Amino acid sequence: AQSVAQPEDQVNVAEGNPLTVKCTYSVSGNPYLFWYVQYPNRGLQFLLKYITGDNLVKGSYGFEAEFNKSQTSFHLKKPSALVSDSALYFCAVRGPAMNTGFQKLVFGTGTRLLVSP
């Protein structure tokens, strides 16, 4: 079964420092991977996705993610963190096709990022 793991419940980083939020995946076949961000009392917002091609994917708000097939990882990164980046981050993988052909997203448990001034 498709799954993702986010090993850190929380990541703390100082403003201006680089940040990494970790995600590993387990899939059969080629992975379709996603990152979403959730700000307080808001819905999830799409950040970026990996379908195929370049292993370094660039997304919204200066975030990028590196797909590593050998390590089955898809870590989210940003060169210089902002206090406004503080939020809950979810990694997700496309799940297997269901009866109707629908393919859901399977989410990790989320990582809270806290950026201190």
| H or E, element range at 65 | strand 64-68
In whole angstroms, what separates CA 15 from the centre of its chain?
20
Tell whether residue 107 is a contact of another protein (CB under 8 A).
yes
Q: Which residues, in sequence order, are bridge partners of residue 21?
A: 76
Q: Which is nearer to another protein, 15 or 107 (CB)?
A: 107
Q: Is the dihedral of CA 43, 36, 30, 54 positive or negative?
A: positive
Part of the chain binding another protein (CB under 8 A), chosen from 14-22, 62-70, 73-81, 99-107? 99-107
**Closest CB 4 distance from another protein, rounded Å:** 9
Report residue 7 as tokens: 């090993």
Q: What is the DSSP letter of 4?
A: E
Candidate residues 61, 79, 104, 114; the one interacting with another protein per rule CB under 8 A: 104
Candidate residues 12, 71, 80, 103; the one interacting with another protein per rule CB under 8 A: 103
| Site residues (vs another protein, CB under 8 A) | 32, 34, 36, 41-46, 49, 51, 90, 94, 98-105, 107-110
